[in-house]
Amino acid sequence: MSKLFSPCRLGAIEAPHRVLMAPLTRCRAGAGNVPTELMARYYAQRATAGLIISEATTVSPRGHGYPDTPGIYTEAQTEGWRQITRAVHEAGGRIVLQLWHVGRVSHPSYQPGGEAPVAPSAIRPAGKVWTGSEMTDYVTPRALETEEMPGIVAEYVRGARLAKEAGFDGVEIHNANGYLLDQFLRDGTNRRDDGYGGSLRGRCRLTLEVTSAVCSVWGPERVGIRLSPGGVFNDMKDSDPLATFGHLLRELSPIGLAYAHVTRVTAQDVAHGAKDGVGPRELRACFKGPMVTAGGFDRAQAEAALEAGWADAVAFGVPFLANPDLPRRLRDGLPLNVPDESTFYAPGPKGYVDYPAAD
């Protein structure tokens, strides 16, 4: 039997196979950043995934940085997610919620009262942000005060509790792709001189505090964490990513998390300045629990990663977007639907719930 299609235990979650659905931002939430019935159809169509990792979901109003992304900080949002978890479970699937705060890669147009976005340090990211009406330069964020850190942790705790109320099977902490927790972790974005910066231990502190707090809600066996050690998305840099992420994974390892979700460097990353050799293969020895990976895998590459032992499961992104029955197609060698990139972040059902399953 192919190892890719053998059962896999991720903490307390029993996955029937190792083809997971990666978190995919789709910008289809309704007014108030509330998940919709259309989103429930989308996720239920993909319930044959070994595990669905939901799209990134903000834990506070100031955690937003993109239009129409869902939240998990109000009663209406919780009820919206409840219809999604119910639909996935009725279809025989498993789903965890990815907890998110974008930090500096936001804009005052998304912030309560039009305030500046928050970050570990007042360093403006290169690039532009979509405000909902135009592309404009990022602004310089406001550095969080030391006394604000417990409030940040509390936002993740609230999100974790509401995710439990909404019926999820667990949560994944989004500590990747240049968002708030990743910004604290890397020395290119964290220039603090308090206990949340400076040393490697200081830069890891917020991640570890958030992880511990979220585990107090769910138990570590239902908590995962996503890391992108070689990623440069959102203008991210670190002087020694192997040391940074190796230290963090060694600190996380004794906690007993359900998994660490560590992305590999892709050709697209390299084209944008990333360096290869900083990913799950190199960091596997630092984490003793299950390791999930992602990053442009096909079936052969996924099988090779599993056989080599540096991954226990593989999360697929764009292929799942266009192929709701992706596990069957991979298993049986069926052709894949071609994704329509023009609809990735567009509103409505086109390019969202209208991709056909294989006959």
Torsion angle of C-alpha atoms 173, 178, 181, 186, degrees rounded to 10: 130
CA atoms of 182 and 178, how far apart (whole Å): 5
Q: Are 141 and 129 in contact (CB under 8 A)?
A: no
DSSP secondary structure of 233-297: TTT---S-HHHHHHHHHHHHGGG--SEEEEEPPPHHHHHTT--SS-SHHHHGGG--S-EEEESS-
Classify burial at 77, counting beta carbons within 10 Å of its beta carbon; exposed 0-12, middle 13-18, buried 19 or more.
Answer: buried
Please state, in angstroms and rounded to a whole number, the distance separating the CA atoms of residues 332 and 184.
43
Supply the residues annotated as catalytic.
179
DSSP annotation of 30 = B
Find, among 58, 76, 68, the residue nearest to 158 by Cα.
58
On the 0-12 / 13-18 / 19+ scale of CB atoms within 10 A, 25 is middle
Crossing angle of helices 200-218 and 241-252, rounded to 10°: 30
DSSP 57-124: EESSGGG--STT--BSSSHHHHHHHHHHHHHHHHTT--EEEEEE--TTS--GGGSGGGPPPEESS--P
Question: For residues 205 and 184, what is the distance between their CA atoms, to the nearest angstrom?
Answer: 9
Cα–Cα distance for residue pair 210/99, rounded to 1 Å: 11
Both tokens of 282, joined, read 């190199």
DSSP 8-class letter at 335: P
Helix, strand, or coil (residue 225): strand
